[in-house]
Structure 1
Amino acid sequence: MKVLVTGYTGQLGFDVVRELKSRNIECIGTTRNEFSLTDTEKMKSFVRKYKPDVIIHCAAYTAVDKAEDEVDICRAVNTDATKHLAEVCKEIDAKMIYISTDYVFPGNGEAFYEPEDKKAPQNVYGQTKLDGELAVQEILDKYFIVRISWVFGSNGKNFIKTMLNLAKNHDKLTVVNDQIGSPTYTVDLAKLLCDMALSDKYGVYHATNEGICSWYDFACEIFKQAGIKINVEPVPSTAFPTKAIRPHNSRMSKKCLDEAGFNRLPAWQDALVRYLQELNM
């Protein structure tokens, strides 16, 4: 089997390639040097030449607030490029794994979203990712759509690194406590994506580490595990106005994994222990 992974320099793409190699699966991780997602012909030509059996599409425009001003660029990357990748997957009869987001949902209430629940993105980023989902579903039969949230990995920026850096120069931090979701460790997610790539259990899935928390809870656990003494104060989202609306409810049901026979990811606290070890904390 040959696998092409987009977004190799990102948090998830990096760990997906690392996991594939650990399983001795032939793979290539692409960056903008190989092809730009907005250069359709170059992208399709590269894929046709490599002829992968699976494309794991990790690359995305993820600057959520910036996307409110850069609508066209965000759409070109998250929607149009995904559509073109799906087209070339169809052409060469390859499976596609498309990484999506909790932001496709309205983000209200307290219920756990099921994959088929009503979609109502509250920002540009979420809408472009949903439109990418729809394009994949319209073009392909052999696809996995995997919605994730609150991602952290070794290769890139994330909430954990931000908290640890802020703690170096502050003795008090304020963190929002009214946005509830689940962190996702890219090392754990990469294993699941590789399992999916080896299967034909196509469909839409939710995949985060087990358990829920607020960003405030997450921050407190980070400092507890890292052995850092710092005063963390919970505040509402209104204390940190952002250009793009953030969901208050990012709870996503993982029953879909159980039904397909895939293993759920470990608890987010366990993932945090291993991640801090990876960072040599």
Structure 2
Amino acid sequence: MTSTRVALVTGGSSGIGEQTALGLRKAGFEVYAVARRVDRMLGLEKEGITTFAMDVTDDASMVAGIERILADHGRIDVLVNNAGYGSYGAVEDVPIDEARRQFEVNVFGLARLTQLVTPAMRAQGSGRIINISSIGGKFYEPLGAWYHATKFAVEGFSDSLRIELSPFGIDVVIIEPGPILTEWNEISRQSLTETSKGGAYEQQARKVRAVLERADGKAMASSPRTVAKKIVKAALTRNPRARYPVGKGAGTILRARKLLPDGAFDVIVKRTYL
């Protein structure tokens, strides 16, 4: 079996996942990039990255993917749990099946892949699990309750897991991006508009959408490559930090949330979004 370090990146078809796969490959890893949209990963294949289809809501797909990598190399050194999306809309309006899907993709898919890679990492006495959370795992927005709930869950899951796996030489790292120039923002705005149309929250949705639109520009948002560089750093450093905020304004927002009481932070959120 190979002695080359092996990395798996989910959500590799665009944005942060695509740039992370390229960054890890450049750093010398044997990289597997997976996503549902295999046709979107042809460019990665040209860079020597192995790609194949994986759906993080399909257990058989995940099991088969991990078995394939272990059959090829006998090891997995880094798992980057990047697959995820933002589903916005009032709690009252979002169908509960969509809320469940948000958790399936953002939380349970991440958790299941963690389960699947842990035995191999434990056996080899080393490994690194890098979970892509968000500054949205520490603060909140109106009409974003389901999305923020998933990211708060990722934060708590990862913190517990970090202690749980440390005796086996496995590190767990949280990446907390701020606004990033990817498809995420557009998808979130679309779901917000569609879910709220004609209902009690339509006017509120327009204001929230405007905030999301402002955040989706070069003045406020960072590039996916910025996040990828931080992920690669977290994968390579000997003693990684527990979490890495990344992107314009990410550190400032997280410090404000930590220092301000709930009432004061509520005022800021209301003034921004309402």
Normalising to structure 2: TM-score of the pair? 0.59
Mapping of residues 76-225 of structure 1, within 5 Å: 76-93=104-121, 94-107=127-140, 123-139=145-161, 140-141=165-166, 142-153=171-182, 156=183, 175-176=210-211, 183-199=221-237, 200-209=239-248
Report deviation, 1:102: 1.7
1:111-142 deviations in Å (ceiling 9; x for gaps): xxxxxxxxxx9611110122123223333441
2:77 corresponds in structure 1 to 53
Q: Which amino acid aligns with 2:244?
A: Y
Q: Which amino acid aligns with 1:143?
A: V
User: Residues of 2 paired with 1:64 and 1:91: CA distance?
Assistant: 36
Report deviation, 1:107: 4.1
Of 98, 102, 113, the residue aligned with 1:74 is 102
Please list every run of 5 or more consecutive structure 1 residues that lacks an aligned counterpart in the other structure: 109-120, 163-173, 213-249, 255-281
User: Residues of 2 paired with 1:211 and 1:62: CA distance?
Assistant: 18
Q: Which amino acid aligns with 1:136?
A: S
The verdict on how the C-alpha distance between 1:132 and 1:106 changes in structure 2, with shifts beyond 3 A counting, is closer
Determine if contact 1:82/1:136 at 8 Å carries over to the other structure. Answer: no
Higher mean displacement: 14-23 or 121-130:
121-130
Determine if contact 1:103/1:122 at 8 Å carries over to the other structure. Answer: no
Do structure 1's residue 23 and structure 2's residue 27 form an aligned pair? yes
Determine if contact 2:132/2:175 at 8 Å carries over to the other structure. Answer: yes
Determine if contact 1:146/1:205 at 8 Å carries over to the other structure. Answer: yes
Give the structure with the higher percent strand.
1
The verdict on how the C-alpha distance between 1:16 and 1:62 changes in structure 2, with shifts beyond 3 A counting, is same
Do structure 1's residue 6 and structure 2's residue 10 form an aligned pair? yes
Determine if contact 1:82/1:135 at 8 Å carries over to the other structure. Answer: no
User: Residues of 1 paired with 2:180 and 2:76: CA distance?
Assistant: 26
Do structure 1's residue 65 and structure 2's residue 89 form an aligned pair? yes
Report deviation, 1:211: 8.2
Report deviation, 1:157: 6.3
Matched position secondary structure for 1:79: helix
Normalising to structure 1: TM-score of the pair? 0.58
Identity of aligned residues (%): 19
User: Residues of 2 paired with 1:10 and 1:135: CA distance?
Assistant: 25
Give the structure with the higher percent helix.
2
Report deviation, 1:24: 3.4
Please list every run of 5 or more consecutive structure 2 residues that lacks an aligned counterpart in the other structure: 39-52, 70-74, 122-126, 190-208, 257-274
Of 61, 65, 74, the residue aligned with 1:42 is 61
1:128-173 deviations in Å (ceiling 9; x for gaps): 12212322333344111111121115xx4657xx9xxxxxxxxxxx
Aligned length: 191
